[in-house]
């Protein structure tokens, strides 16, 4: 492999690791990003002449550190305070054993980007930019948000980290649970936006789901906690169904109607192994329970083979561990599959009366579907219309419109 090809491969494989360590050493996102680019530029110039260093990653980190100090000293001609800062960096950023600290640095970077002091939108944008190396334009495109808006979120998040003195470190054990939940939430948000987009016309966004899976694998390798394994298991078991989730026209296909021979059994096996490990630990949480539910679905060769009794039982545990209207809605649908549509309708009507699912189109769609199954055609028609009024996602709107049109066909046939 030529030196230039080696540098390109190194950038793809190591740039985020190098950046994470430079952020630790320099304490500044923007300065570290400039240093990273300077280090690779120096490699392009020097390595073809001097040859490949024994430890390229350490060379890049060292070069980036010195380039950052040089930048500060050049700027010090216009701002004397930067000379003192450059001197402090030079004295404080001695690098005793870079390789031993690099993986810890990546973990520190993830926790910093996902700090709960930042808004949810800022956490997602900053994580995708700094940890996953997505461009601002790619993030904006993925979330159908103007590029300047995403850029502002990233700038403000970095300023918040700097001005609030948010520490660049892995949390202590006493605060790990709270902080880890924020990290897992960000990863799952990215995955869900890829698997079940909240807006736009595309039924799925495989690129975003892939980034979330990459983040999940990275986090598990750095922090092998049961709930990290549970989240990765949930994403794998869900991702395994992607090929069956849309038909030839690109329209969504519900779980019961999917061709299960298209499910990815390799991903399912990996997910099942992880969820078993998480549950055996007895320290599992909501993600592991959701993964267990997904695993029960994966075990059924046909929809009618699904163990709905076990799924309802798992939802009972999940509802106690992480009570929410959405979890209660999912449990109600499972009860309907076990006991019949009327039983599910009674539960959903109670949830809708409480107001916790106002504005959630899937609640209206679920009720409409149960009404259809129970033979309440007019109620089903009204429910689908209510769902359509709330839904902003193109593929899902098309699906609901087809369901509504099918009711007219059913009515005419009766």
Domain boundaries, the chain: 3-96, 98-223, 237-306
What is the overall mean pLDDT for the chain?
88
Q: Considering the chain, what percentage of its residues have pLDDT values greater than 70?
A: 90
* pLDDT over 80 (residue 196): no
DSSP structure string for 78-109? T-THHHHHHHHHHHH---S-HHHHHHHHHHHH
pLDDT score recorded for residue 96 = 46
- 27 pLDDT band, cuts 50/70/90, is confident
User: The tokens of 60 are what?
Assistant: 């890049």
pLDDT in tens, 360-379: 999 999 999 999 999 999 99
pLDDT score recorded for residue 97 = 47
User: The tokens of 354 are what?
Assistant: 């409480």
pLDDT in tens, 63-94: 998 888 888 777 655 555 555 555 555 555 45
| CA pair distance 88, 238, nearest whole angstrom | 49
Q: What is the mean pLDDT of residues 176-182?
A: 83
pLDDT score recorded for residue 99 = 42
Number of other CB atoms surrounding residue 129 within 10 Å: 23
What is the DSSP secondary structure assignment for residue 172, as one 8-state letter?
Answer: P
User: The tokens of 199 are what?
Assistant: 């807006």
Number of other CB atoms surrounding residue 307 within 10 Å: 14
pLDDT in tens, 87-143: 555 555 454 444 435 567 888 888 999 998 999 899 999 998 998 888 898 888 777
CA 42 vs CA 36, 37, 64, 89, 273: distances in Å: 10, 9, 9, 20, 45
pLDDT score recorded for residue 396 = 87
């Amino acid at each position: 492999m030529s030196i230039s090809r080696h540098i390109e491969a190194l950038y793809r494989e190591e740039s985020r690791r190098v950046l994470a360590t430079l952020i630790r050493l320099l304490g500044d996102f923007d300065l570290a990003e400039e240093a990273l680019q300077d280090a690779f530029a120096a490699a392009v110039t020097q390595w073809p002449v001097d040859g490949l260093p024994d430890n390229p990653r350490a060379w890049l980190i060292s070069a980036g550190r010195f380039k950052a100090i040089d930048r500060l000293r050049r700027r010090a001609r216009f701002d004397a305070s930067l000379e003192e800062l450059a001197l402090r960096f030079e004295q404080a950023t001695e690098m005793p054993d870079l390789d031993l600290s690099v993986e810890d640095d990546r973990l520190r970077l993830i926790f910093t980007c996902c700090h709960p002091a930042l808004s949810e939108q800022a956490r997602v944008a900053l994580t995708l930019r700094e940890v996953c190396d997505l461009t601002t334009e790619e993030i904006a495109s993925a979330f159908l948000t103007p590029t300047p808006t995403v850029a502002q979120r990233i700038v403000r998040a970095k300023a918040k980290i700097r001005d609030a003195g948010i520490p660049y470190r892995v949390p202590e054990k006493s605060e790990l649970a709270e902080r880890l939940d924020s990290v897992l939430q960000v990863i799952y948000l990215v995955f869900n936006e890829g698997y079940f987009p909240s807006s736009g016309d595309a039924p799925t966004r495989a690129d975003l789901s892939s980034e979330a899976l990459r983040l999940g694998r990275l986090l598990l390798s750095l922090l092998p906690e049961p709930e990290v394994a549970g989240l990765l298991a949930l994403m794998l078991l869900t991702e395994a169904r992607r090929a069956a989730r849309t038909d030839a026209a690109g329209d969504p296909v519900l779980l019961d109607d999917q061709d299960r021979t298209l499910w990815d059994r390799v991903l399912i096996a990996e997910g099942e192994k992880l969820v078993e490990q998480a549950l055996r630990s007895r320290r599992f949480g909501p993600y592991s329970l959701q993964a267990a539910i997904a695993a029960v679905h994966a075990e059924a060769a046909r929809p009618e083979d699904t163990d709905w009794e076990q799924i309802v039982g798992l939802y009972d545990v999940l509802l106690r561990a992480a009570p929410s209207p959405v979890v209660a809605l999912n449990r109600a649908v499972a009860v309907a599959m076990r006991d019949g549509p009327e039983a599910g309708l009674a539960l959903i009507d109670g949830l809708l009366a409480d107001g916790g699912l106002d504005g959630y189109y899937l609640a209206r769609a679920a009720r409409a579907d149960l009404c259809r199954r129970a033979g309440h055609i007019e109620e089903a028609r009204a429910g689908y219309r209510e769902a359509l009024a709330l839904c902003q996602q193109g593929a899902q709107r098309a699906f609901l419109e087809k369901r509504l049109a099918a009711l007219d066909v059913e009515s005419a046939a009766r």
